[in-house]
Amino acid sequence: MSIRTAVIIVAAGRGLRAGAGIPKQWRPLAGKTVLDHTLAAFQGQVDRIVLVIHPEDRDLATRFGVDLVDGGATRAESVRNALEWLEPFGCDHVLIHDAARPLVSAKVISAVKSGLQTHIGAAPALPVSDALWRGESTVTGTQDRTGLWRAQTPQGFRFAEILAAHRAHGGTAADDVEVARDAGHTVAIVAGDEDNLKLTYPGDFARAEAILKGRTMDIRLGNGFDVHAFTEGDHVWLCGVKVPHTKALLGHSDADVGMHALTDAIYGALAEGDIGVHFPPSDPQWKGAASHIFLRHAVGRAAARGYRIANCDVTLMCERPKIGPHQATMRAALAEIMGIDMDVISVKATTTERLGFTGREEGIAALATAALVRA
Whether the per-residue pLDDT at 14 is higher than 80: the answer is no
The pLDDT of residue 165: 97
- Where are the extended beta strands (E) located within the chain? 5-11, 28-29, 32-33, 48-53, 67-70, 93-98, 121-127, 132-135, 139-143, 149-151, 155-158, 187-191, 218-232, 235-238, 241-244, 247-249, 308-317, 345-350, 363-374
Whether the CA torsion 112, 116, 118, 124 is positive or negative: it is positive
pLDDT, position 152: 98
Query: For position 375, what pLDDT does the model report?
Result: 53
Host H or E run for residue 265: helix 257-270
In the chain, the domains with their CATH numbers are 5-214 (3.90.550.10), 218-374 (3.30.1330.50)
Q: Coil, strand, or helix at residue 277?
A: helix
* Neighbouring C-alpha atoms within 13 Å toward the C-beta of 272: 19
Q: Region 286-309: what's the mean pLDDT?
A: 92
Secondary structure string (H, E, C) spanning 86-102: HHHHCCCEEEEEECCCC
pLDDT class of 171 with cuts at 50, 70, 90: confident
Average pLDDT in the 163-188 region?
95
In 3D space, the residue among 310, 297, 322, 295 whose CA is nearest the CA of residue 372 turns out to be 310
Note the pLDDT of residue 16.
60
Q: Are 228 and 364 in contact (CB under 8 A)?
A: yes
pLDDT > 70 in the chain, percent:
97
pLDDT, mean of residues 334-346: 94
Q: Mean pLDDT throughout 108-116? A: 96
Residues 6+ apart with CB under 8 A from 28: none
Average predicted confidence (pLDDT) for the chain = 93
Q: Smallest Cα–Cα separation from 5: which of 43, 41, 49?
A: 49
Under the banding of pLDDT at 50, 70 and 90, the label for residue 17 is low
**Which pLDDT band, with edges at 50, 70 and 90, does 374 fall under?**
confident
What does 299-329 look like in DSSP terms, one character per residue? HHHHHHTT-EEEEEEEEEE-SSS--GGGHHH
How large is the average pLDDT for residues 293-312?
A: 93
Instruction: Tell me which H or E stretch contains 31.
Output: none
